[in-house]
Chain A
């Protein structure tokens, strides 16, 4: 079956702009988590959605938000972009997030200039 799909793969944005990233989980998976990966900070948890509800949130400012649709697809939005938001954004899908295998998408590489 198809894996986790993230779009777009690459993005270049200007400071102050906003961006929306998309994640389509594996069919049947209802939990989608988002992570920010940078060389200095490693994999940092942003938030997790399950059945269209945000179940957990990491320590990121309110400029980072997300949502999940009824088909389990998820989007994350970053408003008022800052240079420090440049990173690889990864989503992971799992059946229900309860200590089950999580599979990552290929990520969206965001560059803020």
Chain B
């Protein structure tokens, strides 16, 4: 099955700096890659996603890049703010026999210091 690895597990940055979280996947059939943000005690919230026919997608201060050849994708947060502090999860999804299933990375605890 699919295996998603996420690095780093913890990341601390100063307010205003950029943060980058990287994920790799193993199954070349994976075609959808969402990112979730989970604040303490809350539900994971979808913040951005990318499909395999696109190399990059931006939404204000966040962006995701995908390299299908290398099987990795990354989340970029610019001009970080204290409210960006949370656990971020990457995930991969493929069709076929695993429809409806997301394979998650282990998460990155991002702390933004004011």
CB within 8 Å of B: which residues of A?
31, 33, 35, 42-43, 45, 48, 50, 55-56, 58, 90, 92, 94, 96-107
Contacts and interface: CB of A to CB of B under 8 A. Distances in A.
B106 A50 contact: no
Given A96-B100, A99-B93, 4 more contacts: A43-B89, A50-B99, A97-B101, A104-B43
Interface residues of B, number: 26
Contact of A104 (B44, B97, B99): B44
A56 B93 CA distance: 13
11 contacts: A42-B105, A43-B102, A45-B103, A55-B99, A56-B97, A58-B101, A99-B93, A101-B46, A103-B46, A106-B42, A106-B43
A56 B107 CA distance: 23
B46 A99 contact: no
A99 B100 CA distance: 8
Interface in B8-44: 31-32, 34, 36, 42-44
B107 A42 contact: yes
